[in-house]
Amino acid sequence: GRPSTSLGSEDLVQSVIANLMKADSKRFCDHPSLDVIRKNKIHHIVLLDDSIGSGQRVSSFIQMMMVNKTFRSWWSLGWIRLCIFAFARSVDAEERIIRSIPGSQHHKRKFPKSKKVIIFGPIAHKDDRRESRWGINYQSMVDLCRSPKEIPATYRLGYGDTMANVVFY
């Protein structure tokens, strides 16, 4: 049911998934059902994204998976691991994602939730270090982003005010 027009960076992510499926369809599944996960004894669920700015989209997707009692049980027992791949991500978003996932971080837990989540990607930045990402005159960039009144104030610095500076071709 995909439209014939480009979906932007979603097309890049879908292309990566399609190429993995072509390369090794026995090793990779695209949106497997619980029955497929059970039958194939899948223990690693990979979430693939181009850029994680606030972490809200990834967190909400994980929360939707955790609504299912069977999946949540597998998660609690440590049978499922989440591998989150993104080209670019905010370190603060990683922390938000971990906080939003059900489970305990207590050190006496056999599987603390942070040990069941791996977040990969070549570019990671701290939200509060705008000068290192935008340069010494970063405040002029902030002012420029805040200037258009046609854009609602809550989105002028990007979703969650992350001011992510990744541009995809």
* CB-count exposure of residue 19 (10 Å: 0-12, 13-18, 19+): exposed
Task: Kindly state the tokens that stand for 95.
Answer: 């922390």
What was the pLDDT predicted at 142? 84
Helices (H) and strands (E) in the chain, counts: 7, 4
Q: For each successive 10 residues of the chain (169 residues), what is the average pLDDT?
A: 63 82 86 91 90 87 93 91 88 86 81 85 73 80 85 80 66
* Residue (of 114, 91, 95, 96) closest to 104 by Cα position: 114
pLDDT score at 88? 83
Six token digits for residue 34: 């619980």
Q: Residue 80: its pLDDT value, please?
A: 92
CA distances to 14, 41, 46 from 2, rounded to whole Å, are: 11, 29, 21
